[in-house]
Amino acid sequence: MVKNEKAKRAQKVERHPFIILVVILIVASIVAYMLPAGEYDRIVLDGRTIVDPTTYHAVERGSFSFVKVMTAIPRGIHQAAGVVIITFMVGGAFGVIKKTGMLDMAVEALVKKFLKRKLGIVFVLFAVFAIFAGFIGTPELVLVYIPILMPLLFSLGLDSMTSVAIPLLATTAGFSAAVTAPATVGIGHQIADLPMFSGMEVRIITIAILSITGAIYTVLYARKILKDPTKSPVYEQDLIMKKELAEQKAQEEIVEYPRVKLAGIVTAIMFLGMIVGVIVSSWGFDEMSGYFILMGIIPGVIAGMSINEAVTAFTSGMKDMIVGAMVCGIARGISVVLADAFVMDTVIMYLSNIVVLLPKQAGAIGMFIITTLFNGVIASGSGKAVISLPIMIPLADIANITRQTAILAYQMGDGLTNILWPASGYYMAAIAIGKINIKDWLKWYAPLFVIWVLICCGILFVCTMIGYGPF
């Protein structure tokens, strides 16, 4: 009996995300040195460094180096510093917000509002998150949403998979056809010489279709969990997490701060201020990270905390994000080993050669599929744009596909796989924060991913046929 229980426990042990990513990194480093090394020449155009699509050539590379593999993780953390830092700052801010009690107050209010229509909250949240991602183009904000959603959805009888899925899927739906995202649409339209943010009508329709299908998929799952919580793939993990949260709450010293409601209003205003900063002033990770420090300390002091209490709560919140932050850096290490081997350009060259062989009707779909594959190598939307789009745009011209369609194909391929490939740091951080095993997530997301791929292929086919433009 004891042996059986031990065996069951052993089977239930989940691999730590660090282990999974390190294994992928080692495999990637070995495969990279099996591919031929090559690169395109880079040219500077309007202040941006892009590739010259006619200049691919073989290059020499050094032998496989243990030191390069060993240092890939710290170099990856260095390259992903923006995401790593903002992950810590988000944790710190919510550490203070949680300590004041305003988060509990907000959760209680929302639970009362949606108690009789629990599934309605899925559609509301999907709409909000998709709109933010579609216009701001910052899917990394999921790291902000998840700590808020988990206690709320737990209280409504849902699980951590739903808590992670809603922000991940909604932001993916918005970002995959973003209307005004600077890092993908903005750079893409500049490279393609298209009017900035033109053709937004088709992208808005695409966001709506992807959001509705994603929300329905999530609601069908959530309904099943409400009927029988044991159907959740993370049921046992959630029991542990809920127990830990309850123990933490019981051990916390209950302090009633005098101005919690006012602090909550200030927090909401500051959050909107951050959105304005991103849209109007093109804030990046540095500005948002600094803002989250203020977003933690200022509401804490307004609520009635001393500066010392607020800072202590901030550092405590940062501790909760250690795994999520480190996962970002380790995931970036995968790209580092591929860059060391000079095979990044080789991969895009091989993939782009496939598009030339496709008929016009399938050309845009081919570009979409190529981007989904290339996203497993370079997760950065802007980084991928300056490498792949100077190659894809001439291919689109040759295949008589409009440049606008090529940019949309690139957006879709980049967006849908941001929550599929481990190279995406914010996605790995998000599932780490929700304590979701990557295997469970991929199994859960796979059916919707296939549905979304088919939808995107259909939209791209129509865009090719109608000459989606202006050109």
DSSP 23-45: HHHHHHHHHHTTSPPEEPPEEEE
Contact 400, 360 (CB under 8 A): yes
Question: Which residue's entry shows tokens 């990557």?
Answer: 438
The β-bridge partners of 49 are 44
Question: Which residue's entry shows tokens 């010259």?
Answer: 52
The span from the first CA to the last CA of the chain, in angstroms, equals 70
Closest C-alpha among 210, 209, 183, 211 to residue 197: 183
Closest C-alpha among 97, 85, 87, 86 to residue 314: 97
> Alpha-carbon distance 421 to 245, whole Å?
30
pLDDT tens by residue, the chain, 471 residues: 444 444 444 444 567 778 888 888 888 888 888 889 998 888 877 666 677 878 888 998 766 678 888 899 999 889 888 878 888 998 899 889 888 888 778 777 777 788 888 899 999 999 989 988 888 777 877 888 898 889 889 988 999 999 999 999 999 999 999 988 777 888 888 888 888 889 999 999 999 999 999 999 999 999 999 999 999 999 998 998 888 877 776 666 556 677 888 998 998 899 888 878 877 887 877 888 899 999 999 999 999 999 999 999 999 989 888 887 887 788 788 888 888 888 878 887 887 788 778 888 899 999 999 899 888 877 777 677 877 888 888 888 878 899 999 999 999 999 999 999 988 888 988 999 899 999 999 999 999 999 999 999 999 999 999 999 888
Give the range of the structural domain holding residue 445, as residue numbers without chain letter: 17-53+66-466
pLDDT at residue number 10: 40
> Alpha-carbon distance 260 to 306, whole Å?
14
How many structural domains does the chain have?
A: 1
pLDDT at residue number 4: 47
Contact 347, 35 (CB under 8 A): yes
Q: Is residue 10 part of a domain?
A: no
Angle between helices 438-466 and 403-416 (to 10 degrees): 170
Q: Count CB-CB contacts under 10 A for residue 249.
A: 12
Q: Count CB-CB contacts under 10 A for residue 271.
A: 14
pLDDT at residue number 391: 81
Tokens coding 169 = 């899927």
Q: Is residue 197 part of a domain?
A: yes
Q: Is residue 7 part of a domain?
A: no
Distances (CA, A) of 5 to 13, 84, 432, 437: 13, 39, 27, 22
pLDDT at residue number 5: 46
User: What does DSSP say about strands 57-58 and 38-39: parallel, antiparallel, or unpaired?
Assistant: antiparallel
Q: Is residue 6 part of a domain?
A: no
H helices of 81-199, where?
81-100, 102-114, 120-136, 142-155, 160-175, 187-191
Q: Count CB-CB contacts under 10 A for residue 67.
A: 7
Q: Is residue 4 part of a domain?
A: no
The β-bridge partners of 39 are 57
What does DSSP assign to residue 423?
T
Question: Which residue's entry shows tokens 């989606």?
Answer: 468
Tokens coding 240 = 């542990």
Contact 107, 152 (CB under 8 A): yes
pLDDT at residue number 140: 79
Q: Is residue 471 part of a domain?
A: no
Q: Residue 144: what are its φ and ψ, rounded to 5°? A: -80, -40
